[in-house]
Structures are given as C-alpha cells and as structure tokens.
Amino acid sequence: MTARKRRGAGTDTGADTGPESVSEPWRDPMPPGFRWPDGVRAAACFTFDVDAESPIVVDRPAAADWLDVLTHQAYGPRTGVPRLLRLLDRRAIRATFFVPGWVAERWPDALRSIRDAGHEIGCHGYMHEGSRGATADEEAARLDRALAALESVLGVRPGGYRAPMWEVSRSLPELLAERGFAYDSSLMDADHPYRLAVTREGPGPEPATIVELPVQWALDDWEAYAYLPGITGSGWIARPSELEKRWRAELDALVDEGGLFVLTNHPFLSGRASRVAALGLLMKRARATEGLWIATCGEIAAWTASLELEPVEQRPIELPPER
C-alpha cells in the first residue's frame, strides 16, 4: 500500500447537495503498481459460460416441456463442448469454463470432460439466477448450492465466479470473499485486472479484496448469435467472420495498450461449426501475437493478487435530492 490516497476515496467538494466525487480516472490502461510478468505485454482469457438450459427454464418453467427450445440449449454441452475442447486442444489453450451448479448436475459427463482436459472450472450461479431483486441471503444460498453441486459432481472448489447475465449486486463481492473466491469476472470499468475492495473489514487495516477481471458486452457472443423466437434475440444473426473481425480489432488494440482481453462465449452458440472455425482463427492470431499471455482467469487472478495494488472501492451512488 502506498501513501497515495486510496482510489475511490472521493473528494470533499464542500457543496451540500453535490454527489461525492469519484477519484481521478486511471490515466494509463494499467492501474498504479500493475505490471505483467517479465516478457508479457498483454493477456488474453478465453472463457466459456456453459449455460445449457438454465437461463431459459429459470425464467420460463413452462419451457421445460418445449423440446425445440431445450435442444437449442442442449446443443452446448452435447455438441458444442466436445467441438470446443478439440479446438482448444489443437491451439494448446487452457480456458476457463463458468458453470451453473445445476448444469453440472444435469450434464455431468460433459462437465467432467472439460475438467479432465485441464481447463479451469468457475462458478456461474446455481440456476443462472439474476441478481436483480435478490436479497443477500438469497444470493448467499444460491452460491452455497452452486458450490455444493460443483464439489459433488466435479470435485472442484472454484476460485472464480462470473455472475449470470453479469448482474452484480453490492452484496455480492463480500459474499464471494467470505466463500474464499479469489476473483470475479463480471464488472466493466477497466481494461485490466484490479483489486476490488469488498464491504466487510479485512483481517488487517486494509479492506478484504478479491481480484476483478473485467468483461464487456462487445466481447460476448450472446447478442451477436442468440436467437430464440419470442425469448431472446432480434432474428439478426452475425456472420462469424464479422464477429471474429470485431473481436480481433479489440484484441489487437488491447495488446497495444497492455490490457486484458476477456472473451466470453457460450457453447450452445459458439459451439456451432462455422463459429468454432472463426474462433479458431482468432486463437491462432492470439497465439502468434508476441508478448501476449494466454492464460486461464485463475492464472491472471493469481498474478494480480501477487501485486501490491491499491484496492478499488465501488462507492455508493448518492442520488440528488428531489426538487
């Protein structure tokens, strides 16, 4: 910890009604004190959210009887996962797969094949429940149920969490820290990993922290590929080559700036043949990029945790008084 004012600590403006200001932005893509390992100029994580049927049936229990919809989702663990594992093997890339506990229980063989191929397993809720409107107790119960399922089916205690729909409540980071999670990968305010302060007091004078590996919607395949009539998507479906071009532009730019590229794909979407081919081209380019560290989220989080970074506090928003 340096003598600098803690980031996010705010500035007293002296005004009675104005919001407390958030401290200065990062002037560099890297936060103070951050560096990559020697010889590394940027990093990339290829991540897969193995949602299967969970996001559909959690919102629409009636869909449990809709075979068309169910098979659209089952394509992920049944067909997409084996094809993606073959691709990752060809490219010699270890990826991170975020899994709802319920999906592990429903598709144990598919999930064990991911684990047995040496990829990282992260937690993605129990039934892909959104955070909006949930109490902290409800969120805690879902986390515990998800962890129990992943332990039971896979014998894995995940070090990482990704929020379903990337919905993160103010309570969640503390709940993650209490359960020993090393990192989260759901927030969107940076191009590099950082230390996130959680709300409870840490064991020492510093707040307890987890590592955050930020994501962004443009590096997610859902909006570009998903289409289920009446459920999700507009009917416009991206051409894989166009999506690969968009992702490549972000990869190249983040490499130039020394950032972290976190790509999020869903096996039920990006496990389709032409999409795997396009993803393979992106991976090939990443592999050929000098100084790019391609790693699991857990590896990036462990590196980040080893640095003496100032914790970032996500301070409460003060709404202006009504007029």
Site residues for Zn ion per CB under 5 A:
49, 51, 164
CB of 47 to Zn ion, least distance (A): 11
Ramachandran category for residue 183: left, alpha or beta (phi over 0 → left; psi -120 to 50 → alpha): beta
Which residue carries 């598709």 as its tokens?
107
Q: Please identify, using beta-carbon distances, which residue of 34 and 268 lies nearer to Zn ion.
A: 268
- Backbone phi, psi, residue 203, to 5°: -70, -25
- Listed in sequence order, the residues at least 6 apart from 81 whose beta carbon sits closer than 8 Å to its beta carbon are 50, 110, 113, 114, 267, 271
Q: Please identify, using beta-carbon distances, which residue of 129 and 191 lies nearer to Zn ion.
A: 129
Judge whether 49 and 185 are in contact, CB under 8 Å. no
Distance of CA 185 to the CA centre of its chain: 3
CB of 51 to Zn ion, least distance (A): 4
CB of 128 to Zn ion, least distance (A): 5
CB of 302 to Zn ion, least distance (A): 24
Structure tokens at 293: 């560290």
Q: If we measure between CA atoms, which residue out of 210, 214, 212, 148 comes closest to residue 182?
A: 210
CB of 133 to Zn ion, least distance (A): 18
Number of continuous H segments (helices) and E segments (strands) in the chain: 12, 9
Amino acid at 210: I
Q: Please identify, using beta-carbon distances, which residue of 164 and 267 lies nearer to Zn ion.
A: 164
Q: Please identify, using beta-carbon distances, which residue of 142 and 195 lies nearer to Zn ion.
A: 142
Judge whether 142 and 125 are in contact, CB under 8 Å. yes
Q: Please identify, using beta-carbon distances, which residue of 30 and 153 lies nearer to Zn ion.
A: 153
Q: Please identify, using beta-carbon distances, which residue of 164 and 258 lies nearer to Zn ion.
A: 164
CB of 276 to Zn ion, least distance (A): 19
Judge whether 193 and 260 are in contact, CB under 8 Å. yes
In terms of DSSP bridges, do strands 194-201 and 207-212 run parallel, antiparallel, or are they unpaired?
A: antiparallel
Q: By Cβ distance, which residue is nearest to Zn ion?
A: 49
